[in-house]
Amino acid sequence: MSWNPRTLPTQVGKTFVVTGANAGLGYFTSEQLAGAGAHVILACRNPERAESALTAIRSRVPGASVSSLQLDVSDLQSVRDVSETLRALPRLDGLILNAGIVHPSADRQVSLDGNELIFATNFLGHFALTAGTLMALRRTPGSRVVSLGSMISRLMDSSLDDLQLATTYNGWKAYAQSKIAMQVFGFELDRRLRANGAGMVQSLVAHPGYSISGLTPTIAGVNEITPTKRVTDGLQFLVGAQSKQHGAWPTVRAAIDPDAHGGDYFGPRFLTRGAPTRQPATRTSRDRGVAARLWERAETLIGEPFL
């Protein structure tokens, strides 16, 4: 079937969790899923910002069914607590692993658990959250996990041998590694689910292209942009930028397209912007050796086996 991001197939009766859903791509992913009739749980670190996002969705989507949970994906105890709540859900149709630090700090920081902060936030917490909620996903026919990658995987590469960057930290290197790790994880998760007889849960990967705030609609408490940023970001449209509203399309397609399958990779048609299409992933993203090493290290860091 042809895919129209503005006319989505109904999701009435389904439940999705979106991490980092109070702003940016996570907010628009949540709004679009709610607009299709799903119940969407916004898993956010800041309760006040989560409430603003809930208010915005309810005002923009009549009859929207939305709720929130407080989740700090960089804190493994917070992940464990939320996982316990999600495992009790009667169904979980989609887990959208969206939360992340997009603008890395100049200096290396660590999480409460002692892990490099960008790695902990963008990847490790999501690895643990998926493991912790797998029970609910497995009892929901057709459920999906969508991992958020990035086109930076085409600009920078890493074999993921130095995840903590203890002596070699660079902000953009840390960000690139975390997103490469998310893509490696998403594809390896699908392989392992099928190998373990849990193929009814599918794992897909999506990237949003070059999506920026200044091209995104103003929404009180969610996306508030200064006039200056509107102008400067507006100029980036000329070099391929798009709104975060459009940047959410590949994620939503990966989550609900009935013709999508585990192992698919979705992104904007023209790499940085455009309608969501299936695309080839980088060689590293699908490298089984890289995946095996990452998986083993991640299990050690969260202190338990994934499956």
What does DSSP say about strands 211-212 and 202-206: parallel, antiparallel, or unpaired?
unpaired
Catalytic residues: 175
Question: For residue 5, what are its two tokens?
Answer: 């991001």
- Residues 247, 234: Cα–Cα separation, whole Å: 16
- Residues 55, 57: Cα–Cα separation, whole Å: 6
List, in sequence order, every residue forming a beta bridge with 267; answer none if it has no partner.
277
Q: Are residues 186 and 204 in contact, defined by beta-carbon separation less than 8 angstroms?
A: yes
Query: How open is the CA angle 205-59-228, to the nearest 5 degrees?
Result: 75
